[in-house]
Structure formats: C-alpha cells, structure tokens
Amino acid sequence: MQHDKEFLIGFYRTMVRIRNFELKAEELFLQAKLPGFIHLYIGEEAIATGAMANLRKDDYITSTHRGHGHMIAKGADVKKMMAELYGKETGYCKGKGGSMHIADVSIGVLGANGEVAGGLPIAVGAGMAIKMQKKDSVVISFFGDGASNRGAFHEALNWASVYRLPVIFLNENNQFASTERVTETTSVQNIADRAVGYNIPGVIVDGNDVMAVYEVVKEAVDRARSGGGPTLIEAKTYRIKGHFVGDPVLYRNESEVNEKWQFEPISRFESTLFEMGIITDAEKESIWKQAEQEIKNAVNFAEKSKYPEPESALQDLFESDTGYDY
C-alpha cells in the first residue's frame, strides 16, 4: 500500500515520542521522583502507534496498566500525563490515579486499568452504546497475554460476537504476564486461536512492525465500522523491560533480552524509512530532538505544578456531591 511521506514519518514520530516518555519515566522513577509503580511500553510502541492511526477522535479505547503508549498515540497531552505520574494537581486525574489510572474521556480513552482484563467489559459497553446510537465509531480494547486467561476476556469476546459489536480486541502478547511466561500459563500457542471459540476472525501480526499492525488493524476497524462485528488481533511482541521499573527480573536471561532488542520496532522502522529514502539523518535527529524537548517540557511542567491540597481527596467520588460525609 502506498502512503505519503508525512504519514510514514508520523508513525516514526509517535513511536519516538512514546520511547522518550518511557525512558524519562524510568529515569525519574529510579531517581525516586515518581511515587507508585511504572510499567514501561518500551519495545511495544509499534502496536499503539499502528493501531491508533486508524482511529478518529470519536472512537474509543480501553488501555492497560502499561498504557502510556496508548495515551500518547490517541492524542493525550504528555504534560498532563507526566504531572499525573508525579501525583500533581495538574495531572489527568488531579493526582488521584497515577500511571495505572490515566484516562481522558474527552478523547475517548476510557481509562488505563490496574486490573488485568478490566478494560474488556468496559470496551464491550462502549460498543453497545455505539450500536444503540447507530454510530459508526469503533472501540479498540488493548490487553496483554495474561488478560486472555481471565474470565472477563472470554465473557467479553462471546458477548461482542453475539451482538456483533464494533470492538477490536487487540492483544499485546509481550510474552510475559508479570513474571510468568505466556508459554507456561496459556493453553494455546497463539492467543488469536481463541477467536475460533467465539466465531470471530483471529489474526496474528508482528507487533514490532508498525506498518503491519496498521494494515491488520485497518481491516478490523473497517469491518467493525461497517457492521461486521469484532476481531481478535494478537500482536506478537516482547517486553524489553521488567514488569515494572525496579523488577529484579529473575525469570529470564539478559542474553534473551539482548537478542530481542535487535528487533525493537523503532530502529526496524527507521531502517525501512532510510531504505525507502523517506527520511534523512537530519530529519531523524530533529524528530528525536523535538521529542526529547517535548518530554523535557512535560517534566518541567510537572515539577513546577503543585501537589493537590489534601482536602481535595474528598472530591470527585460523585458528580452531585462529595459523597464522604455520611
């Protein structure tokens, strides 16, 4: 398929922005500047980037605990993201959620999720709403390999199939559920094989190939928009970092990680762009510099922002009142 230069460079730029956000988050966490836990998307940037290029603003996603990449690719404000990681009042959740609960309902991000597979039922509900409203929006529900072993995954796929909902179930198989290898915890070789049980298409794609992800998701999104129902896509990738920053990683060897790093999506796509003569060294450098600057600005914004007033902990439970005083 032919794409213009800007479209392809856009993929590269988004992946580089996600990478820079994650590298900075890791650095800040190790400097003890960020409270809580951080789960990094390094090495998986192609999935969010390729998938989201098919979405409009009125489409929805549900994300995961490893959700920074999804947010950025869907168009979130990295300043508000970084401020939330710091627990500041200017963050997306005013400091009430942190990394695992970032959401931006105004751009269709129905939440990262601290619960494995927690987003799938929510995605199904958004799909039901779209169908009731007779719109042509779609929902992409991102989830990991571990989530495919939860009941919610099976309930959600059956339900979406029965009602032919416009939901794309996008599995990011990064080979590890926390410390456990997918091969040791999962009954099938390919998570996409589970689609058969729900009578929907199941597709496997190289999750480190941004163009391939884009194409596969495009087909699923087109089908969903035109009333053809859900698709299960398994994007095979590899979790370069530990489950969380600080994970002692006792379950694999460094040599395995080094080998997988050869296939990481950004340098792969970069080679393709150079081969196609689409990008120059100067353009590449400029994209990285811009991304670094953007993240630097986000860090400045977050650091200059105030912590929330302690009493603000008693707000936001309900729409119509504070809800704590009874």
- By CB atoms closer than 10 A (0-12, 13-18, 19+), residue 55 is buried
Which member of 27, 115, 259, 285 binds other proteins (CB under 8 A)? 115
Q: Is 124 in the site for other proteins (CB under 8 A)?
A: yes
The amino acid occupying position 112 is A
Which member of 92, 214, 238, 269 binds other proteins (CB under 8 A)? 92
As a whole number of angstroms, the distance between CA 244 and CA 148 comes to 20
- The DSSP call for residue 199 is T
Which tokens sit at 27? 């650095």
Give 205's strand partners.
235
Q: Minimum distance from CB of 125 to other proteins (Å)?
A: 3
Which member of 10, 121, 197, 228 binds other proteins (CB under 8 A)? 121
Sequence-ordered strand ranges (E) for 106-247: 139-144, 167-173, 176-177, 180-181, 202-206, 231-236
Q: Which is nearer to other proteins, 2 or 133 (CB)?
A: 133
Q: Which stretch binds other proteins (CB under 8 A): 36-44, 64-72, 210-218, 317-325?
A: 317-325
Phi-psi region of 40 (alpha: psi -120 to 50; beta: other; left: phi over 0): beta
The amino acid occupying position 34 is L
Size of the site for other proteins (CB under 8 A): 51
Q: Is 25 in the site for other proteins (CB under 8 A)?
A: no
CA 118 to chain centre: 14
Q: Is 169 in the site for other proteins (CB under 8 A)?
A: no
For 13, the enclosing helix (H) or strand (E) is: helix 5-30
Q: Which stretch binds other proteins (CB under 8 A): 129-137, 199-207, 223-231, 238-246?
A: 129-137
Q: Minimum distance from CB of 222 to other proteins (Å)?
A: 20
Q: Is 147 in the site for other proteins (CB under 8 A)?
A: no
Torsion sign (Cα): 271, 275, 276, 278: positive
- Tell me, residue by residue from 42 to 81, as one string, x for binding to other proteins by CB under 8 A and - for no binding: ------------------x-x-------------------
Q: Which residues fall within 8 angstroms of residue 300, CB to CB, at 6 or more apart?
A: none
Q: Minimum distance from CB of 97 to other proteins (Å)?
A: 4
Phi-psi region of 178 (alpha: psi -120 to 50; beta: other; left: phi over 0): left
Q: Which stretch binds other proteins (CB under 8 A): 15-23, 95-103, 256-264, 268-276?
A: 95-103
Which member of 118, 144, 166, 265 binds other proteins (CB under 8 A)? 118
The contact set with other proteins (CB under 8 A) reads: 60, 62, 91-97, 101-105, 110-111, 113-115, 118, 120-130, 132-133, 139, 151-152, 155-156, 158-159, 162, 315-321, 323-324, 326
